[in-house]
């Protein structure tokens, strides 16, 4: 369960405050996979980061006793000067993995992400697709209550997409997912419930199809 209580989040811009969430109180129940929909710039990624505990509202509280993955997204979240291998080691270390487990992780991430020689090159030369492959491959190695995924299931070639979707489906047998995506088929396939973020409000729907319909309506109005 994730509880949002009177949550307000805004960005200061030269034209005043731009609200992502304005005084939102909402409970996200346990054991559902949630898809998050919204137009570009509506604040989906910010919401995702706040749910994952690495960004914070300007006021109000978000509380949960679950564990969350880091957000897997196109934006990266890796230290650019480190190589793929060093980043894998780093993340394993902060999760307290032993040297033996780190060896395992390196092997499995290397296999899964299909980065080849790039695995030993600095992340800053990676394409965004390569970053998210590394990030997703690494996350499979850990046990979280929630996986946080920001638009990364549609990267890579056809083969990789099939592979990562299969891996995700296997993974979510034991955990839940918070997923931002613009791809309706993926949302329908993976998520049970949906959240639509629009105009500083987020609305929770028990059925992902309802959320998708509302989102379509919003798009038609504009």
Partner 1 sequence: MTKRTSLTIFKSVILALFLREIQTRFGTKKLGYFWAIFDAMLMVLVFAGLKSAISEKSMPGVDFPVFLASGFLAFFLWKNIVSKSIGAFSSNAALFNYVQVKPIDTIITRFLIEILVTSMATVVFLAIGLYFDFDITIENFNMVILAVAWLSLFGFSIGLFTAIIGTFYETFTKIVNIIMTPLLFVSALMYTVDSLPSALREIVLYNPLVHFIEMIHGNYFSVLDTKYVDYEYMFYWTFIPLFLALYFYRKAEKKIVSSR
Residue from the set 8, 64, 86, 198 that interacts with partner 1 by CB under 8 A? 86
Find the shortest distance in angstroms from Cβ 155 to partner 1: 18
Question: Interacting stretch for partner 1, rule CB under 8 A, among 84-92, 110-118, 160-168, 182-190?
Answer: 84-92
User: What is the CA 135 to chain-centroid distance, rounded?
Assistant: 10
* Residue 131 in contact with partner 1, rule: CB under 8 A: no
Q: Tokens 């390569």 correspond to what residue?
A: 130
Question: Interacting stretch for partner 1, rule CB under 8 A, among 31-39, 141-149, 163-171, 214-222?
Answer: 141-149
Residue from the set 54, 125, 162, 166 that interacts with partner 1 by CB under 8 A? 54
Question: Which residues are within 8 A (CB) of 58 and not within 5 positions of it... i.e. 6 or more apart?
Answer: 8, 9, 10
User: Pairing relation of β-strands 193-198 and 201-205?
Assistant: antiparallel
Q: Bridge-partner residues for 149, per DSSP?
A: 72, 179
Backbone angles phi, psi at 186, to 5 degrees: -65, -45
Question: Interacting stretch for partner 1, rule CB under 8 A, among 46-54, 106-114, 159-167, 196-204?
Answer: 46-54
* Residue 52 in contact with partner 1, rule: CB under 8 A: yes
Rounded distance between C-alpha atoms, residue 183 and residue 143, angstroms: 26
* Residue 142 in contact with partner 1, rule: CB under 8 A: yes
CA Rg value for the chain: 18
* Dihedral angle of Cα 100, 112, 118, 133, to the nearest 10 degrees: -110
* Residue 44 in contact with partner 1, rule: CB under 8 A: no
Residue ranges that bind partner 1, judged by CB under 8 A: 11-12, 46, 49, 52-56, 67-68, 70-71, 76-82, 86, 89-91, 93-96, 142-145
């Amino acid at each position: 369960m994730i509880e949002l209580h009177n949550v307000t989040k805004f960005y200061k811009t030269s034209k005043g405050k731009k609200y992502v969430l304005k005084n939102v109180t909402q409970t996200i129940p346990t054991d559902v996979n949630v898809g998050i929909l919204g137009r570009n710039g509506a604040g989906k990624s910010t919401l995702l980061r706040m749910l994952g505990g690495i960004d914070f509202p300007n006021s109000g509280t978000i509380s949960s006793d679950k564990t969350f993955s880091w957000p897997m997204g196109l934006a990266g979240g890796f230290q650019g000067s480190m190589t793929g291998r060093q980043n894998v080691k780093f993340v394993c270390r902060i999760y307290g993995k032993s040297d033996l487990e780190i060896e395992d992780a390196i092997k499995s991430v290397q296999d899964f992400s299909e980065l080849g020689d790039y695995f030993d090159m600095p992340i800053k030369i990676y394409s965004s697709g390569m970053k998210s492959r590394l990030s997703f491959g690494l996350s499979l190695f850990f046990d979280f209550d929630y996986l946080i995924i920001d638009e990364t299931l549609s990267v890579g070639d056809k083969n990789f997409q099939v592979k990562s979707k299969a891996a995700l489906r296997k993974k979510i047998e034991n955990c839940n997912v918070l997923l931002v995506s613009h791809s309706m088929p993926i949302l329908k396939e993976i998520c049970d419930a949906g959240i639509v973020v629009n105009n500083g409000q987020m609305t929770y729907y028990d059925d992902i199809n309802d959320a998708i319909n509302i989102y379509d309506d919003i798009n038609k109005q504009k």
